[in-house]
Structures are given as structure tokens and as C-alpha cells.
Chains A and B, each alone.
Chain A
Amino acid sequence: MAKWSKQSLDIRLVAHYIPSNYEEWGHTGSCIVHAENPQDFSKKLPKNVRYNLTTEVYMPDVDLPLSEGELEHLAVDLEGNLDRYAFELRQQEVMGQNFRRLYSLTGVIFTIGVLATQTWWWLFFVTPYWGVAGIGNKYKYKKAKYLQNYDHRQVIEGKDPARKDAVNEMYEFYNKLEGHHLNKLQRARDFCKEQKKKNPAFKEIEEGYRDLIDANLEDSFLLQMYPYTSLQSFLRFFTGGPYGIVQPILTPKQIVPVRNFNLNAKKYLKEKK
């Protein structure tokens, strides 16, 4: 039965407003909206049915909440990350899949040759170790290939009261904090850990703070991509395929900068009148 003839499922992606001091080129001092990373999200998707995606954004109750245009901007960024992740994995799997099939055949010939000839010098002709080219991407792509099976995508403001309370509580707590911004993030994460027992909605906010702390402390993108230790280069020799053409794809973090609600926006809006 074809995919399009079945009824499509409704699946939601929950995104929380997280007060922070996000530092990036062009976004100094802004807060973020955090959602589940694409790899974990793709595990929830159906296999042979198309789906409709609704992105629910939860934000605190303030005078000037996010407008329609700002919500759509969040959706463009969050959905764009999903699309790009699926495309990159697909691109690498074109090479990875073919190389794995090809060099597993050479592996068979390798063993037959060793047993039949009982010599070693010709082994330089064959490269059976590239049979594991892009093996890490393989398991990611198993789930991520269903990301593109969507029918309709939309973004709405979330209305679950438990999550709404959690976001409001977090917003009030973070505004009281003072000190270094990494220390503030750590204390906010610990606060979530305590509140998680009462309100399970804090669990996803805690993951947001964990991702933010990781983003501050981990290696840069180029250092993650380039094998700079001997172990990494040894492993890349096998998983990279011929001349390291197959790249490992990193799962992106769903961190999108958003307007800081602490900014006195009304000051600028009133000056016009």
C-alpha cells in the first residue's frame, strides 16, 4: 500500500524559551529556544506513514510576547536544521553504502586469496578495511531518512499548563541570578534538577541548559570534524573510505536565538508616537 493513500499522523516538536546569555556572532546577549535534537526526534517518526509536524513553542507570560513573524522565524530555523541533517546524511550514504558493499566483496576475495596463494605481497592491491566506510552515519540515517516524509508543517504557541508554569518559573528564577554566565547556567540546571521531581516539564528545560553548557565547553566544529589525535586519525583511516572522502555527520543542537524579554522594548516602540 502506498504511503500517500494512508492517513497521516500528527507529531509535535516541543520547543521551550530558555532565558540565558547566548553568545554567538550576531546574537550577543540573546536568549534561546531549545528543542529535541534531530536524531532523538527522528526515532519517534512513523516508518511507512506520512506525518504532519506541529512545533509548539512555550514562552513566559510577558507584555510583548513573540509575534507571528518571530514564531515563523523559529520554525524556519528548527525545520531547516532537520532538513539539512537529513540531506547531509543522505549525501554521505550515497558514497558510504556503495563503498561498504564494494569493499565487503573485496574482503571475501581477500580471504580466498590468502588461503589459496599463501603469499602476502599482493595484499597491497586490495583494501577490504574500507568495508566499514561511514558506519556511524549508517545507523543515524536508518531513522533520519523518515524526516522528509512530512505533509504539512506549522508552528503554534503551546497551551499545556504544566509546561507553561515551568517556563514562567524558570524565567523568574533566572532573572534573580547574578555572576558569570556559565555559573548562572549551571545553577539554572541544578534548579531544574530539583523542580523535575514536582513538575516533569522541567526535564526538557534541563536538557536545554545541558546543551548550552556543552556548546560553551566542547571543541569547535572544525576540531570535531578534523582528526587531530592519533586515535582519531587511526579510526578515520577505516571509516573515512578511500582518501577519507566519507565524512562523519555530527548531530546538530536545536538552539535558536530569540528576543530577550528583559529588553525594554516599549521604550523604543513609544518614541515613534
Chain B
Amino acid sequence: MVKLELYMVAQKDDLPSILVPNKDPMDEMFMYRAAAARNLSACERNEGLEVLLQVGSQEEIDQIAEKSKVKLFPNYTEKQKVYAQQDISGRIRDALKDSVRQEEMFTCPSAIGQYNFILNQLSRSTGFWGVIHRLFPVVFIVNAVPSFQLLVGDMMITNPGYYNKTKAEFSRMASNIMSGIDIAYDNIKVRLLKNTSLDIINNIIKTDKEGEGYREAREVANQLSLPIPVVDHLYIATQSTEHSQWTVYMKAPNTLATLPLTQQIPPSKGGKNVKL
């Protein structure tokens, strides 16, 4: 089964934790080849997606198990019952379909598309009608020199034939990738795993020393095995909620002395916590 990791990162106070998917951010630079490879193998092996839900402590695992128990009340509508009957994996499936699957449906074709784009341009000259134009002077020579018929046959038949063959193979691969996304995200299996390095991070965020839990967590996360998306998530959390570096730029602008200052911007007050 192809695998996708989800990290359950805590928030401050009693706010619910956030799920951060582990996708290689550098994959974007190389046309989403890692994501395409994952979905292609899902199609060819006809296997679903194994979601590895990385959880910090054993207590959280027990909490998830309790939450996934179904409680049906009599005043529920039919639609509400359907949602209530979903276990935790059902909720994760819906969340992934709205976020990661949506993104992959747009991005994965570009793993093949970058080559198809160039091959289509090449086919202008190497395709059948392109060759007809290139061969215009040769048409007259063929009457005089019979061995040119070999060259003409090669350029008119074998060249476009092989170029069309490569394009056909690529389009088959691309359609397999697209159907692989459907196969993977329609058959999800969730596995709960205990991760100690995530536990360290969650503890630092919860203790929130000097109101800078996220900043300290990000510094420690560099020495842990946590993937880059989690570290990036912590960085965004520091910048948006804690003593941020943005306050450096929140000074009054250095205006010309002759102009009157109509509105004076107050100095920044650091240390004010804003909940995410």
C-alpha cells in the first residue's frame, strides 16, 4: 500500500490539534514526480492509501479511540446519522479529499505534461504533415536518385510513428496516475502510531514558556526527525501569534521633516498572544 503521513500537532490551551500532511516541498520544483509515482503505483497495484497518523502520546491515542465510538441520538436527521456513523478514518478521508486530493488532481499531470508539451512542439516538424513540408525539395530529387526513397520513407513513416508511440505511452501513464488518485483516496486505511519526537514538540507548545511555545518548539524541531512541513507549520504559528519578527517593521515611517504627521502609529506591544 502507498503511504501518506499525517502529523497531529497540538495547539495552545485547549484548542483542538491540527493535522499536517507530510509532502515533500521540493517535489513542487521537480514537477510533482514523487506524488505521481505514488499514485501510479496505487493504480497499477490496485491498492489503497495507508494513512500513518503520527500521534504524540498514548493518552491521545486513547482519546481518538473514544471519540471514534458512535453515539446516535433519536433527533438526528438521516444526513446527520451518516456523518455520525463515520469513524475517525472517515473524517480523515473527507479532510484529505478536500485538501490533498484536490491539489494532486491539478498537480500530478504536470509530471508527464512537461514532456508532452515539448513532444507536441517537436511533432510540428517530425509529424506527417510537418515532414511533407520539409521534404518539398527532396520530392524532385527522388525522381533522379532512387535511393532517396529510403530517406523519404524514414522521415514520413518511422519518424512520426515513433513520436506518436511515445506520446501514446505517456498519455496512458498520465491517465493511470489520474485513476490512481481515485483508487488511493477511495480506499483509505488509517494506522495510529506513537511518535516521541512529536510528543516533545506537543509538550513544549502546551507548556508555552514565556508565551513563546511555538518558537522554542521550532528550534528543537530542527534536531528531531520531524519533516519540513511540520517545521514550516511551527514557523507560521510563531509569526502569526507570538513575538514575531514582523514587529521590527511595524515602526513609524521615516517621513520628511516638513510634512506633518497626522496619525501617529503606536509602538508595538510584544508578547500578546493571539489564538490561532
A: residues with CB less than 8 A from B are 25-30, 64, 66-70, 72-76, 79-80, 83-84, 86-88, 91, 94-95, 98-99, 101-102, 105-106, 109, 112-113, 116-117, 122, 125-126, 148, 242-243, 245, 257-260, 263, 265, 268-269, 271-272
Contact with A along B134-172 (1 / 0, CB 8 A): 100010010001011011001100110011011001100
Q: Which of A98, A116, A259 contacts B225 (CB 8 A)?
A: A259
The answer to whether A268 touches B166 (Cβ under 8 A) is no
Q: Bound state CA distance, A113 and B153, in angstroms? A: 13
- Would you mind naming 11 contact pairs between A and B with Cβ atoms under 8 Å apart? A29-B222, A66-B225, A73-B22, A80-B34, A87-B40, A91-B111, A91-B115, A245-B122, A259-B196, A263-B223, A271-B207
Closest to B44 in A: A148
Q: Bound state CA distance, A74 and B22, in angstroms? A: 12
Chain A residues with CB under 8 Å of B134's CB are 125
B197 on interface, CB distance cutoff 8 Å: yes
Chain B residues with CB under 8 Å of A69's CB are 52, 54-55, 193-196, 198
The answer to whether A126 touches B151 (Cβ under 8 A) is yes
B12 on interface, CB distance cutoff 8 Å: no
User: Beyond A87-B37, A257-B225, A259-B224: 16 further Cβ-contacts under 8 Å?
Assistant: A25-B228, A30-B222, A64-B196, A67-B196, A70-B225, A72-B193, A87-B40, A91-B115, A98-B162, A99-B162, A106-B158, A109-B151, A113-B150, A125-B151, A263-B220, A272-B203
The answer to whether A268 touches B195 (Cβ under 8 A) is no
B68 on interface, CB distance cutoff 8 Å: no
Q: Bound state CA distance, A260 and B228, in angstroms? A: 16
With contact pairs A69-B198, A271-B203, A272-B206 given, residues A95 and B225 touching in the complex (Cβ less than 8 Å): no
The answer to whether A76 touches B162 (Cβ under 8 A) is no
With contact pairs A72-B193, A272-B203 given, residues A102 and B150 touching in the complex (Cβ less than 8 Å): no
Contact with A along B206-236 (1 / 0, CB 8 A): 1100000000000010111101100110000
Closest to A82 in B: B37
The answer to whether B147 touches A113 (Cβ under 8 A) is yes
The answer to whether B207 touches A272 (Cβ under 8 A) is yes
The answer to whether A245 touches B222 (Cβ under 8 A) is no
The answer to whether A70 touches B207 (Cβ under 8 A) is no
B181 on interface, CB distance cutoff 8 Å: no
Contact with A along B189-206 (1 / 0, CB 8 A): 000011111111001101
The distance from the CB of B264 to the nearest CB of chain A, in whole angstroms, is 41
Chain A residues with CB under 8 Å of B33's CB are 84, 87-88, 91
The distance from the CB of A98 to the nearest CB of chain B, in whole angstroms, is 5
Chain B residues with CB under 8 Å of A67's CB are 193-197
Q: Bound state CA distance, A77 and B143, in angstroms? A: 63
A interface SS class: helix
Chain A residues with CB under 8 Å of B11's CB are none
The answer to whether B118 touches A243 (Cβ under 8 A) is yes
The answer to whether B122 touches A242 (Cβ under 8 A) is yes
Chain A residues with CB under 8 Å of B34's CB are 80, 83-84
With contact pairs A69-B54, A72-B52, A102-B162 given, residues A117 and B147 touching in the complex (Cβ less than 8 Å): yes
The answer to whether A269 touches B200 (Cβ under 8 A) is yes
Closest to A64 in B: B196
B110 on interface, CB distance cutoff 8 Å: no
Q: Which of B5, B115, B141, B196 contacts A95 (CB 8 A)?
A: B115
Q: Bound state CA distance, A117 and B142, in angstroms? A: 11
Q: Which of A25, A73, A79, A265 contacts B5 (CB 8 A)?
A: A73
B36 on interface, CB distance cutoff 8 Å: yes
Q: Bound state CA distance, A57 and B232, in angstroms? A: 27
Q: Bound state CA distance, A98 and B169, in angstroms? A: 10
B100 on interface, CB distance cutoff 8 Å: no
The distance from the CB of B204 to the nearest CB of chain A, in whole angstroms, is 6
The answer to whether B154 touches A245 (Cβ under 8 A) is no
Chain A residues with CB under 8 Å of B169's CB are 94, 98
Chain B residues with CB under 8 Å of A86's CB are 37
B3 on interface, CB distance cutoff 8 Å: yes
Closest to A26 in B: B228
Q: Bound state CA distance, A75 and B194, in angstroms? A: 15
B119 on interface, CB distance cutoff 8 Å: yes
Q: Bound state CA distance, A112 and B159, in angstroms? A: 18
Contact with A along B75-116 (1 / 0, CB 8 A): 000000000000000000000000000000000000110010
The answer to whether A268 touches B147 (Cβ under 8 A) is no
Q: Bound state CA distance, A116 and B165, in angstroms? A: 31
Closest to B192 in A: A69
The distance from the CB of A42 to the nearest CB of chain B, in whole angstroms, is 15
Q: Which of A113, A258, A259, A260 contacts B151 (CB 8 A)?
A: A113
Chain B residues with CB under 8 Å of A126's CB are 151, 154-155
The answer to whether B223 touches A70 (Cβ under 8 A) is no
Chain A residues with CB under 8 Å of B54's CB are 69, 72-73
Q: Bound state CA distance, A162 and B157, in angstroms? A: 63
B179 on interface, CB distance cutoff 8 Å: no
Closest to A71 in B: B193
